[in-house]
Structure 1
Amino acid sequence: MESGKEELSVFIAKFNQVLKRVFHEQQDINELSHDRGLPPHIWRDIMETHPLAVAVPTAYGGRGSVVKECLSVLSAASYESLPLSLTFGINIALFLEPLAKYGDDKIKEKVFPEFLSGHRMGGLMITEPDYGSDALNMRTAYRNTDEGYAISGKKHWQGLTGQADYWLVAARKQVSDGELARDVDFFVTDNADPKQHIKVEQLYSNLGLYMIPYGLNVIDLEVPTYQRLQPESTGIKMMLDILHRSRLQFPGMGMGFIKRMLDEALQHCTNRMVGAGNLLALDAVQYQLSRIQTAFTICSGMCARSSTISGIEYNLATEGLEANSMKALVTDLMQESAQLCLQVSGANGYKINHIAGRGIIDSRPFQIFEGSNEMLYTQIAEIVLKRMKRQKESSFYQSLASLPQTEKAVPHFREQLQFTVSDNLAQRKLVDLGKIIARLVNIQYVLDMQEKGFRQDLVENCIYNMQLDIAQLASNFALSNHAELVVSYEGESDWLDFAF
């Protein structure tokens, strides 16, 4: 540990104490969940613990952008408040880490000290009204000026809209014929500078995550040359590196949230008496809670793996298999855990001020933003299928048995994986294939942890529940038919015509 740097356990303990005080003693977080945003005094108390110092390099007075520290802050925050954790996740993975890796020293010297001494926020602008996941066709454009770059366009659904002090804005270069270059560049903007101010045209009424403002932004600004990020090769690879690093750090937000769902469900089922025993005496409840506990185990493995591979010293542009597997599966597990916690909580779980009901709404968009899970599962499947084609291998099991990211996990699923895969799979089957692969990739992380001493009973339960999942998903490949939408469905379909 570097001299003067507080032990991580002490740093997180202090952070936890403040969260407990502001959310349970000063205010009731269950009541705060009804409101948009947090009261200023609560923000002040939380930010005075300097949680974002974990993502600031030591050269600028921070704790050094150590991944396990970043994930620890995200997990501690999400145990109390998923929106708070996402706020920090946006700042860490989508602003501070990219700035630390790709920023010019001149802009870093200005921004990092402000994040350490003040209550600063930063975010990332990629998504546009007409180009959601199709980022490579974004229309926000920039051109060279005498002093730097002029940027214009529209961006929307950025977390911290109107709240962030700094933004990383993605844009494409306007070439001579009016067309836009294929590559993508990123620029740091400072909202306090009138020339760089981003106008908020509209704030959206987002369904959950009330703490975080979203909206539509109009960009018409100028930045100096040194505020452009410097890619190692191409801008597209830089964007993939940024997005993959962010996806690999989703487990930090998932960890505390899933643990909270498990703790709440376990406490309720222990105390809730039904007849002669408590809810835990019911086999169906045991199964439901074992599913949440499996999510806890898998997410733990993800955090351990991410801490090893997702630091800013690595280029993650080509790590789509692991990044997509972590993001898609952990967000599915977050939603499942919240649903199960609500189910065992009974009617009380459906209140907006109950942690489970709120958790369902707040975790749902995680399955959509930064790449919808269906898209990510499809990409996972395509990565493996291309490899199988190169290998001239049709056996799914044999191919995964030689894939470094799954070779340790597949022997536990030999029975479920004995099928062949054809070249022309429908997309719905690609999604199912991606779900299987993602589970195997992440089970391997759990097995790696077990080798280092992680408790065996949790691992065994986890493998059993994943065998159930994979068996169900694999069974889809034996079915040759599938349902298709009937667009003009209204003729001969009114049930009243058949009620005599």
Structure 2
Amino acid sequence: MANLHAHYFGETQNLVRNTVRRFVDQHIIEHINDWEEANEFPRELYSTAGEAGILGIGHAEEYGGSGGDIFCKVAASEELMRSTSGGLVASLGSIDIGLPPIAKWGSKTLKEKVIPKVISGEKIIALAITEPSGGSDVANIKTRAVKDGDHYIVNGSKTFITSGHRADYYTVAVRTGGDGYGGISLLLIERDTPGFSRGKNLKKTGWWASDTAELFFDDVRVPAENLIGPENSGFIAIMSNFEMERLSLCVMANMTAELALEESLKYVKERSAFGRPIGKFQVTKHKLAEMATALEASKTFTYSLAAAMQEGKSVIKEISMAKNFATQTSDKITYDAVQIFGGMGYMRESKVERLARDNRILSIGGGTYEIMNEVIAKQLGL
């Protein structure tokens, strides 16, 4: 079958793809089932990924990054997803939501201190926005930071934080001003700061291999020099990162769907019923045709937006549409894949079982399906 999307990936992007594919084959595939069952993967994988230049993709060479454009990130994400573990990909990928605000808005001192260590895999970074009182309502976060001389005193809590349990650095959204989006700032808070604690690793429906935690701040004294960007400008910094995060979730959803489709296409040739392979039944053939059609449409939409973002265009409305479309597509394809597999699709030894449960978070994380529709409606002038 012709690859209609090959023109998006040149020599550099294909080099990235091959590098990440080798990394997954050599360091992940053999162990992923055990890591899933253990609800974690070795911390050393960060440094191994750092040495391979994978964590640095899309980050400035000035601080040890590998450089590369948006399609380098897409290629890397697609190959990491071939591990079949969305949780592992999300945890390794916390660099791409925790680090950009520092890279874009942080002081030179903060950049020099944090970026090289995170890119090398020596340190892990997490983004901490979601709170127990609400996730998608970023403008109304309650964790407060009060200025006290050359420090901020932070009180509050966060929840559902990816890499939250074992991160070393946390990019934390706090309220430094009045109500609403105008009173939010970002602070870098380090792991061992007195008064800062982490809850246990949260157990989830999917993403088992990922590390997810609650965070607690009890009179945590944070140096004022750890402020990321100007005070009360944190909402802008958070929003500026959302387009890339939502693109990443589109890629994860498309790859989840693609892997489920691939597994289904293999299975229908191997599994027989009533004396013939189940792939010979019209109901199965048509189901697979519909799955393939929806996936092709979603990938085409996602790649077109990645190209627009690469050109510097704002795609606030369209990336929200694409995230909803990609996750609807992966919802349907993973559901249908389990149905095609029948009882085996409900067994933990089956890849489609993992893909189906990992998939469920994708329409929630990075802005829920409902919030995406609110964004789209607002952009339509409604």
Aligned letter for 2:110?
Answer: I
Offset from partner CA, 1:84-121 (integer Å, 9 cap, x none): 222233321x1222222222121111112112333432
Higher strand share: 2
Matched, 1:184 2:184: yes
**Given the superposition, is the C-alpha separation of residues 255 and 377 from structure 1 closer, same or farther in structure 2, using an over 3 Å criterion?**
same
Aligned letter for 1:334?
Answer: S
**Given the superposition, is the C-alpha separation of residues 224 and 353 from structure 1 closer, same or farther in structure 2, using an over 3 Å criterion?**
same
Q: Is the 8 A contact 1:15 1:51 kept in 2?
A: yes
Show the counterpart of 1:88.
92
Show the counterpart of 1:359.
355
Q: Is the 8 A contact 2:17 2:75 kept in 1?
A: yes
The 1-side partners of 2:349 and 2:101 are apart by 36
Show the counterpart of 1:475.
none
**Given the superposition, is the C-alpha separation of residues 330 and 232 from structure 1 closer, same or farther in structure 2, using an over 3 Å criterion?**
farther
Q: Is the 8 A contact 1:324 1:376 kept in 2?
A: yes
Shift of residue 9 of structure 1?
2.4
Show the counterpart of 2:15.
10
Show the counterpart of 2:341.
345
Show the counterpart of 2:72.
69
Aligned letter for 2:190?
Answer: D
Shift of residue 14 of structure 1?
2.7
Aligned match of 2:332 in 330, 333, 336?
336
Alignment of 1:50-69 (within 5 A): 50-64=53-67, 66-69=69-72
The 2-side partners of 1:181 and 1:53 are apart by 31
Show the counterpart of 1:429.
none
Show the counterpart of 2:169.
166
The 2-side partners of 1:84 and 1:151 are apart by 30
Q: SS of 1:365's equivalent?
A: helix
Show the counterpart of 1:133.
136
The 1-side partners of 2:215 and 2:38 are apart by 23
Alignment of 1:112-123 (within 5 A): 112-123=115-126
Matched, 1:242 2:241: yes
Matched, 1:255 2:254: yes
Q: Is the 8 A contact 2:206 2:357 kept in 1?
A: yes
Q: Is the 8 A contact 2:58 2:66 kept in 1?
A: yes
The 2-side partners of 1:216 and 1:157 are apart by 6
The CA RMSD over aligned residues, in Å, is 2.7
Aligned match of 1:19 in 20, 24, 27?
24
The answer to which of 268-277 and 79-88 deviates more is 268-277
Q: SS of 1:369's equivalent?
A: coil
**Given the superposition, is the C-alpha separation of residues 241 and 44 from structure 1 closer, same or farther in structure 2, using an over 3 Å criterion?**
closer
**Given the superposition, is the C-alpha separation of residues 362 and 131 from structure 1 closer, same or farther in structure 2, using an over 3 Å criterion?**
same
Q: Is the 8 A contact 1:125 1:155 kept in 2?
A: yes
**Given the superposition, is the C-alpha separation of residues 55 and 188 from structure 1 closer, same or farther in structure 2, using an over 3 Å criterion?**
farther
The 2-side partners of 1:231 and 1:353 are apart by 50
| TM-score normalised according to structure 2 size | 0.87
Show the counterpart of 1:286.
285
**Given the superposition, is the C-alpha separation of residues 322 and 231 from structure 1 closer, same or farther in structure 2, using an over 3 Å criterion?**
farther
Offset from partner CA, 1:219-277 (integer Å, 9 cap, x none): 24233333222269943333222223311332222233222112111111122233454
Q: Is the 8 A contact 2:50 2:119 kept in 1?
A: no
Offset from partner CA, 1:262-315 (integer Å, 9 cap, x none): 21111111222334542222222122222332343133224423432446x958
**Given the superposition, is the C-alpha separation of residues 151 and 66 from structure 1 closer, same or farther in structure 2, using an over 3 Å criterion?**
farther
Alignment of 1:433-452 (within 5 A): none
The 2-side partners of 1:186 and 1:384 are apart by 30
Show the counterpart of 1:459.
none
Q: Is the 8 A contact 2:302 2:322 kept in 1?
A: no
Offset from partner CA, 1:192-237 (integer Å, 9 cap, x none): 5x35x73113442222211112232112423333322226994333
Q: SS of 1:300's equivalent?
A: helix
Q: Which has the higher contact order (CA 8 A, sep 6+)?
A: 2
Aligned letter for 1:204?
Answer: L
- Counting matched residue pairs gives 370
**Given the superposition, is the C-alpha separation of residues 158 and 292 from structure 1 closer, same or farther in structure 2, using an over 3 Å criterion?**
same
Show the counterpart of 2:316.
320
Q: Is the 8 A contact 2:106 2:227 kept in 1?
A: yes
Show the counterpart of 2:206.
208
Q: Is the 8 A contact 1:261 1:356 kept in 2?
A: yes
Q: SS of 1:76's equivalent?
A: helix
Shift of residue 364 of structure 1?
0.4
| TM-score normalised according to structure 1 size | 0.67
The 2-side partners of 1:206 and 1:254 are apart by 18
Show the counterpart of 1:486.
none
Q: Is the 8 A contact 1:250 1:326 kept in 2?
A: no
Q: SS of 1:157's equivalent?
A: strand
The 2-side partners of 1:173 and 1:181 are apart by 11
Show the counterpart of 1:369.
365
**Given the superposition, is the C-alpha separation of residues 351 and 299 from structure 1 closer, same or farther in structure 2, using an over 3 Å criterion?**
same
Matched, 1:110 2:113: yes
User: Structure 1: any 5+ residue segments left out of the alignment?
Assistant: 1-5, 387-500
Alignment of 1:289-308 (within 5 A): 289-308=288-307
The 1-side partners of 2:233 and 2:119 are apart by 31
The answer to which of 247-256 and 105-114 deviates more is 247-256
**Given the superposition, is the C-alpha separation of residues 136 and 378 from structure 1 closer, same or farther in structure 2, using an over 3 Å criterion?**
closer
**Given the superposition, is the C-alpha separation of residues 233 and 267 from structure 1 closer, same or farther in structure 2, using an over 3 Å criterion?**
same
